[in-house]
């Protein structure tokens, strides 16, 4: 990856967006101490309780913010933000399980701050990384696939 480019069409839809980027190199992304990551996720799930209220889940302020954002662009029917999926699991008392250190860390950040986080393997990105509106024909590689 050479650089991160955020296109004008993104800013046209989300003019008040705040974006953070962390780049890490030479990461050992294997779990050597499962208990450490389980404890991290457990603490994050406890923090996430502040974002879960008795009201209808779709009216939850965190969920509503991201559903409103998703309505600004085309998505597959039923597509939801990662924070909604995580908070739904917490609300239903379904423990968030460890996946690998980096995913566990960004899931913990998502839960603690009530916002979606994600990660990319920049070594596999050819050229620049673009944040723009999608055409629907983009290639997509799921986490853990080659």
Where does residue 109 rank: exposed (0-12), middle (13-18), buried (19+ CB within 10 A)? middle
- Listed residue (83, 54, 52, 57) closest to 70, CA to CA: 83
pTM of the model: 0.85
pLDDT at 143 over 70: no
Q: Which residues contact 4 (CB under 8 A, 6 or more apart)?
A: 21, 128, 129, 131
pLDDT band at 54; cut points 50, 70, 90:
low
Phi then psi for residue 127, to 5 deg, are: 85, -150
| pLDDT tens per residue across span 79-123 | 888 999 999 999 999 999 999 999 999 999 999 999 999 988 888
| pLDDT tens per residue across span 10-26 | 999 889 889 999 998 88
Phi then psi for residue 11, to 5 deg, are: -65, -30
Whole-number Å distance between alpha carbons of 27 and 102: 9
């Amino acid at each position: 990856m050479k650089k991160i480019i955020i296109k004008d069409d993104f800013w046209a839809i989300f003019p008040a967006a705040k974006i953070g980027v962390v780049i890490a190199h030479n990461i050992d992304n294997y779990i050597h101490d499962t208990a450490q990551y389980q404890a991290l996720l457990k603490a994050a799930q406890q923090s996430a309780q502040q974002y879960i209220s008795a009201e209808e889940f779709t009216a939850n302020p965190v969920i509503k913010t991201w559903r409103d954002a998703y309505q600004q662009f085309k998505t597959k029917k039923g597509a939801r933000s990662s924070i909604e999926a995580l908070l739904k699991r917490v609300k239903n008392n379904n423990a968030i399980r460890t996946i690998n250190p980096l995913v566990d860390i960004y899931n913990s950040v998502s839960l603690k701050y009530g916002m979606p986080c994600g990660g990319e393997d920049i070594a596999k990105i050819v050229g620049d990384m673009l944040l723009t509106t999608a055409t629907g024909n983009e290639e997509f590689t799921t986490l853990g696939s080659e």
